[in-house]
Amino acid sequence: MNFKNAFLGIFASALLLASCSNDDTTENKMPLGAYDKGVIVLNEGNFGTPNGSVSFISNEYAVINNIFGIENSNKPLGDVVQSLSFSEDKAFIVVNNSNTVEVVNRYTFKSIATITDQIKNPRYSVVLNGKLYVTNAKTKSVNVYDAKTYNFLEVIAVNKVVEKIITANGKLYITNGAYGSGTSVTVINPQINNAMSTITVENGVNAIEEKSGSVYVLSGNAEKSKLYKINTTNDTATAIESTVLKNAKNMDIDGEKIYYTVGNNAYVMALNATSFSEAPLFSIPDGGYFTFYAFNVIDGKIYSANVNGFTAAGTVKIFSSTGAELKSVTVGMGPNGFYSNN
């Protein structure tokens, strides 16, 4: 046997494997588009005017405003950019007062399609098993579309307020409340002919999140605040409450922590907490109804928006998980939500 040739062969193979490994690592780290590796900010704009927009904040806090317009020949996005959901490489942008859902590539923000069929005052959306579900305030129903072709498939009549919508355990969970009122969550099981049931919660339901297969729902009113944890196997709920903290809202879950707001204060508690934390993490200036108009926690950073009375560009302040202010940046008119694009 020629040991010299055998050694050279092994050495060459090792180099080839190392090269492929390095290439794979480099490829995996490459951004998928100009708006990868950062946070998408929705700016609803002025009601009645099609000046809603989208901003991008990179993980290094660089800001690019009006990215939809930039990437689509200054095409207007629409009137009241309400919410956004992701599915694979697509983003579905719900534009409330324009009665549209704009479909874009989530990393390049190039327009793919505009959904208008049967849209009636849309609020929120989610994708489950290849279908796009959109809540419609005017018809109190959920529209169903093919998430690949964007064709309208059916309407699910709920016959009560339909607002935020999430998925958990193969089902849809929809808050039946808006603007400080509402006492239930509707559960729809698409796998059983859209079988529907209702979970009763405290008046003032305003936030809903999924974590590790469970659904968390926050309600707040002038008397108390309650946080529910729903077992999605049997859709039963347990709750904790506080009569000290009232009108809690803006719940978001990051890691093993739940963040929420009361007035102009932000709070945090453990995911498995048995009582609300009543010591503020940090405070912002009181802006009345517009206080914490947007509030999300992404990868340990807290994003808060000031809409500046809808008379000027919005201001976003970014805080650490301990409440220290990290950065303040300017975005579009009326920022109302933050979405991780990492």
Residue 28 has what pLDDT? 55
Please state, in angstroms and rounded to a whole number, the distance separating the CA atoms of residues 113 and 306: 31
Residue 30 confidence (pLDDT) = 81
Q: Output the pLDDT for position 24.
A: 45
Of 74, 80, 104, 82, the closest CA to residue 92 belongs to 104
Mark the ranges of the chain whose per-residue pLDDT is less than 50. Answer: 1-27
The pairing of beta strand 81-87 with beta strand 63-64: unpaired
For position 138, what pLDDT does the model report? 97
List Cβ neighbours of 100 (8 Å cut-off, separation of 6 or more): 78, 114, 115, 116, 119, 122
Distances (CA, A) of 342 to 17, 32, 144, 327: 28, 10, 27, 19
DSSP codes, 105-170: ETTT--EEEEE-TT--SEEEEEEETTEEEEEETTTTEEEEEETTT--EEEEEE--S----EEEETT
At 48 the pLDDT is 94
Please, is 8 exposed, middle or buried when counting C-beta atoms within 10 Å of its C-beta (0-12, 13-18, 19+)? exposed
205 vs 48, 220, 224, 246, 284, CA distance in Å? 27, 7, 12, 13, 23
Q: What dihedral do alpha carbons 139, 140, 146, 147 form, nearest 10°?
A: 120
Instruction: Report the relative pairing of strands 294-298 and 257-262 from DSSP bridges.
Output: unpaired
Q: Which of 93, 65, 50 is nearest to 313 (CA)?
A: 65
Reduced DSSP (H G I as helix, E B as strand, rest coil) percent helix, strand, coil of the chain, to 5 = 10, 50, 40
CA 263 to chain centre: 21
Element (H, E) at 17: helix 3-29
The per-residue pLDDT for 289 is 87
What length does the chain have?
342
Per-residue pLDDT at 238: 98
Interatomic CA distance for residues 205 and 201, integer angstroms = 7
What backbone phi and psi angles, to 5 degrees, belong to 69? -65, -40
Give the angle 210-215-217 at the CA atoms, nearest 5°. 105
Quote the DSSP letter at residue 290. Answer: G
Residues in contact with 284: Cβ distance below 8 Å, sequence separation at least 6, in sequence order: 264, 266, 291, 292, 304, 306, 317
